[in-house]
Structure 1
């Protein structure tokens, strides 16, 4: 049976559907209307006898309802700034799209993850690029795992899911790590009541698979702002039209007068990558997008109406719908996107992937399974050769907080509270985790800080202090958490006044030439070896640059110890690329900053 919903399946709604913001009255009304529509639609399915027809209507109607639900959530989400990295910066580091593809494929390796299970061994494919949701690797790609070879030379084929009835060794997707869908698990037979020592089992040695990536012929970039609304920008065969730019969303239309490359067959990859900055110049995170224009939605609604008039599914009906869909798509020469951001947009950066010409790269993979534990008892440095260079585009922004001031730290604090649980009402003093926090370390002074609760006077302002037993409240400075038990208060408090300690590191920066490193630091190919006596990890951080002056991305780090849970001897940091210089950051002092506060407390709901 044809998949009627396929055109809607690619709608970028993942992030949109995860929103959990509170509902305004108008949104609640829309949601109620939507719930009614959904209930009515589901009831209408009960009266359809033909299962194929019912499935087709359920798929298409369900997709349209999903789209409407996402639009409602995106439109009603509060506009609050949330910043992220330039997720398209990697496109600027490589001379051609094909160079980016080669880096992506050649930088892939496989780690064996530490496991405490006697019958499971997890394998983690590690990619040179990481992306924040909803961005992925920007070019169409497909990765298929085929088999794992064990130490006894036995080959275990990949299967899409673990089988409870299969008595042998299995290779299947991992069920323990939903955030990394490429992770795999080698499952050994488990016999209830019999301990099976994993070490006695044949171990995974190499992982085979195949990867295919389609690189666009070129990538074009357009910088747009409010003045570009209603105007088109053209470069070669590509035209971008900014239809609308509102506070937190942009509507764009893309036209490419050249047809898609024949290598893409029936695929229609997303050619439009949109980012936004606010007035501070920082990149805003995306909250979701709608990629179906009003004309497309109207077409699918028309198809749904036609389906709902039918009594039964038939080959003739399938052909009619397919022909209608093809005819409609052939007329659609424009790609539409309505992209929402977390914050107020000042400027847009639009990258267009031109798929009128493409290069398809296919490669068979036979990757050794490597083991790098975070803590190692080995006295020698294990090599991790890496044939590609990858840069850390977030490092400069992260490291700027090495010079954070007391005022900046205080200004970054946000206060939230809850009185839902009367016995554990709380006020939270939070601030974004920064490089400064990273170097503050775990040794924080958690001495008691003064806190006083007050009533409210007749004007609703701060009144008299409330006498309380010590067990009525608790301040945890390390967590920034004030908890209080309203059951132990003679009357409900209206204000709380006090101070909470924040912790600020004094950080000194050192720049070092890779050919003239001091004692305690050494480079072995792409591995930086740090003597923990000379440069202890609790007060030092190191960042590497190559000859281009860009920060190199760290692959992973290993702490080598004299004995389990014992003193660290040396740390090893592995990089994607060859360091030519290092930046060392040392915490030379740690000070406590008192953050004074007066918080008007929420009233608990009366029972």
Structure 2
């Protein structure tokens, strides 16, 4: 089959993420042209008789259309500011790219997840860094699982998908888990009518596999702003050109005068990691990117036109296309990126991964399967030795809300409403979940909050109050919702006035030297043990720093209890690294803040 997809393979995912919304009226013309193009392309496919040729044309043509749709979508998306973390901070914590790779590989361990099934056991590989699209681990990497060893010494080979006809125990990827795509499932045979307890099955003991990562020889950092547009910056073999810097996007071209190292193989890793800050100094989240230059798009459009002229698939034509493609890609000495952000850009931080020299690290894995339940009935603390140090770069930003004020809390509230269901029309008073909310806990007592619905007068302004039975509406402060039943209203309300309680914790912060811990706190290597009588979890939080002064990332936490639903005796927090200082946060008081509101109500749709 003709495979001309690889250079455009990244388009599908990037573009698919961008197509959820609509586009602005000013761009309807472009949209129409695109729809006409798509319809025309689909018609042309129908005329291709050879199924393999049709598939190849559909793949390449479909990718090009997706790319064009992504361009329109990104260009017309309204600019709404959204802040995120410094996704490249971890590169700054390690002296070399190789040190980052070693941490990534050596910090991997495997957890057995709690299972309520008699014939399924999930295994979760846990990496020290967790990345979300598009901020995946920045270096080319691969992980292949080979087998699981069971408690009866039986070795079960890994298979890429679960088989319905295989009567034995199987190891395959978890089909249902999108949040942890690396998760695996050990599936025991399910025999109709025979109850088999999971406990009686041979249990997974260790997991074998291989992991491979390619580290660039060096990582360069460029700080750029509007004044750098058009001025090329060169460091050694790397030349960076900021082609354009507009309100919410940047166009960048990178040239590496050296070829890619042989260690990179057939991969063509993305060498550009681009971040933007706005005038507040905070990092903006990305809304998408286009990594194909006009020259690349023109080349693939030309190839598509050649393919569409063919009557049938032929080996010779396929080879001609592949050779053309390789020759074209070889000539591409520069790498192009047009990156869009959610917000107005003040300056850019560009990290360039230079793969002209590279190191390929391959490690065979034989990892014990560990079990750490969120709630444990064990009396002893289970060790979780960790040979690597990983920092939590989002902690400082999260903890700043320990000193939140009433005004900050009130100003963060957003109001939305729905009248789709007349019997359960509702208003939602929402605010971002903060560290303060986390320490508010579940003790949220509040007195009755007054709520009055009003009609509208002739001018459409607030009119008379409406007398209502108590069951006509309900205010739920814990959820921040006001629900009302329009069927119980003598006339349609136009306004609602009242107040809803918000909750604000008073939080005391203290610093504790790890060598002088008070009674009730104990450190065993990388595990902090917290006596729940002295420091109950509903009103205390602990964060750890090491000698560098950076916050350590917490691996996981376990609450040890006397009995299944009994009170906690002690909590254990495990860290990637050795704590030298602890920060304690204690809720000393809880106050209720009345948030007064006047909401103009949406009119229900007349049936």
Report the TM-score when normalising by structure 1.
0.98
Q: Which residue number corresponds to residue 113 of structure 1? A: 113
8 Å contact from structure 2 (residues 258, 356) kept in 1: yes
8 Å contact from structure 1 (residues 4, 60) kept in 2: yes
The secondary structure found in structure 2 opposite 1:79 is coil
Q: Which residue number corresponds to residue 137 of structure 1? A: 137
Using the TM superposition, give the Cα deviation of residue 77 of structure 1 relative to its aligned residue in structure 2, in angstroms. Answer: 2.2
Q: Which residue number corresponds to residue 404 of structure 1? A: 404
Q: Which residue number corresponds to residue 62 of structure 1? A: 62
Using the TM superposition, give the Cα deviation of residue 470 of structure 1 relative to its aligned residue in structure 2, in angstroms. Answer: 2.0
Q: Which residue number corresponds to residue 201 of structure 1? A: 201
The secondary structure found in structure 2 opposite 1:280 is coil
Using the TM superposition, give the Cα deviation of residue 45 of structure 1 relative to its aligned residue in structure 2, in angstroms. Answer: 1.4
The secondary structure found in structure 2 opposite 1:11 is helix
8 Å contact from structure 2 (residues 118, 196) kept in 1: yes
C-alpha distance after superposition, 1:6-46 (max 9, x if no partner): 11002374476255345432355544443343233223212
Q: Which residue number corresponds to residue 227 of structure 1? A: 227
Once structures 1 and 2 are overlaid, which stretch shifts more, 157-166 or 326-335?
326-335
Structure 1 spans left out of the alignment, 5+ residues? none
The secondary structure found in structure 2 opposite 1:260 is coil
- Do structure 1's residue 294 and structure 2's residue 317 form an aligned pair? no
Q: Which residue number corresponds to residue 460 of structure 1? A: 460
8 Å contact from structure 1 (residues 15, 134) kept in 2: no
Once structures 1 and 2 are overlaid, which stretch shifts more, 475-484 or 550-559?
475-484
Q: Which residue number corresponds to residue 514 of structure 1? A: 514
CA RMSD, 1 decimal: 1.5
C-alpha distance after superposition, 1:406-464 (max 9, x if no partner): 01101111111222222222211111110000000111125431111222222222222
**C-alpha distance in 2, partners of 1:282/1:148?**
45
Structure 2 spans left out of the alignment, 5+ residues? none
**C-alpha distance in 2, partners of 1:370/1:193?**
31
- Do structure 1's residue 310 and structure 2's residue 310 form an aligned pair? yes
**C-alpha distance in 1, partners of 2:15/2:4?**
24
Once structures 1 and 2 are overlaid, which stretch shifts more, 450-459 or 163-172?
450-459
Once structures 1 and 2 are overlaid, which stretch shifts more, 389-398 or 36-45?
36-45
The secondary structure found in structure 2 opposite 1:10 is helix
Pair 1:447–1:194, CA change in 2 (3 A):
farther
Superposition pairs for residues 131-210 of structure 1, below 5 Å?
A: 131-210=131-210
Q: Which residue number corresponds to residue 494 of structure 2? A: 494
**C-alpha distance in 2, partners of 1:325/1:541?**
57
**C-alpha distance in 2, partners of 1:282/1:424?**
40
Q: Which residue number corresponds to residue 325 of structure 1? A: 325
The secondary structure found in structure 2 opposite 1:95 is coil
Q: Which residue number corresponds to residue 353 of structure 1? A: 353
Once structures 1 and 2 are overlaid, which stretch shifts more, 208-217 or 482-491?
482-491
**C-alpha distance in 2, partners of 1:12/1:85?**
26
C-alpha distance after superposition, 1:522-546 (max 9, x if no partner): 0000000000000000000000000
Using the TM superposition, give the Cα deviation of residue 91 of structure 1 relative to its aligned residue in structure 2, in angstroms. Answer: 0.4
Pair 1:28–1:167, CA change in 2 (3 A):
farther
Q: Which residue number corresponds to residue 540 of structure 2? A: 540
8 Å contact from structure 1 (residues 12, 290) kept in 2: no
Report the TM-score when normalising by structure 2.
0.98
**C-alpha distance in 2, partners of 1:37/1:214?**
40
8 Å contact from structure 2 (residues 12, 63) kept in 1: no
The secondary structure found in structure 2 opposite 1:116 is coil
Using the TM superposition, give the Cα deviation of residue 490 of structure 1 relative to its aligned residue in structure 2, in angstroms. Answer: 2.7
8 Å contact from structure 2 (residues 18, 70) kept in 1: no
C-alpha distance after superposition, 1:300-333 (max 9, x if no partner): 1111111111111111211221122122212211
8 Å contact from structure 1 (residues 97, 216) kept in 2: yes
**C-alpha distance in 1, partners of 2:446/2:204?**
47
8 Å contact from structure 2 (residues 140, 267) kept in 1: no
**C-alpha distance in 2, partners of 1:574/1:519?**
19
8 Å contact from structure 2 (residues 248, 344) kept in 1: yes
**C-alpha distance in 2, partners of 1:567/1:15?**
50
Q: Which residue number corresponds to residue 101 of structure 1? A: 101
**What is the number of equivalent residue pairs in this alignment?**
607
**C-alpha distance in 2, partners of 1:442/1:375?**
19
